[in-house]
Amino acid sequence: MPPQFSLSDRMRYLLWYLVFFYGISITFSIDVTKHPGWLLLEHKRCGNSNTDRIIGGKNASLGAYPWLARIGYGKPGSTDELSYRCGGTLINRLYVVTAAHCVENLPDDFIVRGIRLGEHNTLTNPDCAREYCAEPVQDFIPKSIISHKDYNKPPFKHDIAIIRLNQPAVYNEFVKPICMMSGELMRKSFIGEIAEVAGWGIYDINNPKSSIILQTLKLPVLEMGRCIKSFKSFTELSGQQQMCAGGVVGEDSCGGDSGGPLMKVQSLNGPPRYYFIGIVSFGAKACGSFTTPAIYSKVAAYIPWILQNISP
């Protein structure tokens, strides 16, 4: 039975709302697990990859990132096949987090019409590897879409949105949520560490076509000063709400990866699991061609916002 919010829960919710808008830095020092919305997330089955363990990426193993979502677009009322152009991250049975630019300011004849979970090879359903087959993909219709109210103020700041599915996802080995950070992970910068990104975007700078098979790539998290220098003529960046990663020639997130997750395996009160640390936002137009890193929305800065915008 879904949790019901009591009066005290609602008062605590209001306090969180005020704290969030008072200052992002404060949210890193408070306990997100006390927010009523924390009860709506999955904390036991999250972040487990069904594998042994992008430009310049490699094929991901079947079931490697079961929280990966694909966002499909089409004309309103059309029955044409959807065009999948962005990624997203499943955080519980009903919600997918993505970039705001994936759902805002779309062409007049384009809307978000579908969300797909459990994808690996875009040409097959179900997907199979070594005589082992995954469950069929799960398709959904967006019931509601909420973008951050300050998105694009300045350009690409607060690049985050949340999509509620029209029905709950069915968890299996190929569809399950990623873990959300709390405690010490909220305060980590991850600078100097290696994170992972995955998606079906352009994977060869010399052949600009989207990948058929899910691609994965490991990228270094860099000092924000590196990105500020690279994009100073383009927009104003903030180390509080954004992350800088990449900067390796031939290896980058790219078109079609937008909205997907930047992930990191961490141990927090349990075995190592994947945690959601960033959202693919933007980078150089010729992604992977130079040492220009890419920008990711910093998930730790927006966990209170996410919790405020999900419901049972």
Separation of alpha carbons 205 and 221, rounded Å: 22
Rounded to whole angstroms, how far apart are CA atoms 220 and 283? 15
List the catalytic residue out of 120, 127, 159, 252: 159
Catalytic residue among 49, 147, 230, 258, which?
Answer: 258
Joined together, the tokens standing for residue 274 give 């994947």
Instruction: Check residue 197 and report its DSSP letter.
Output: E
Three-state DSSP at 8 gives helix
User: What's phi and psi for 236, nearest 5 deg?
Assistant: -95, 125
Active-site pick, 101, 120, 148, 158: 101
Residue ranges with strand state E in 75-186: 83-90, 95-98, 111-117, 128-129, 132-133, 138-140, 142-147, 161-165
Q: Please, which contacts does 128-133 make with residues 24 or more away whose CB atoms are closer than 8 Å?
A: 128/62, 129/61, 129/62, 132/62
Is 101 considered catalytic here?
Answer: yes
Decide if 258 is catalytic.
Answer: yes
* Active site amino acids: 101, 159, 258
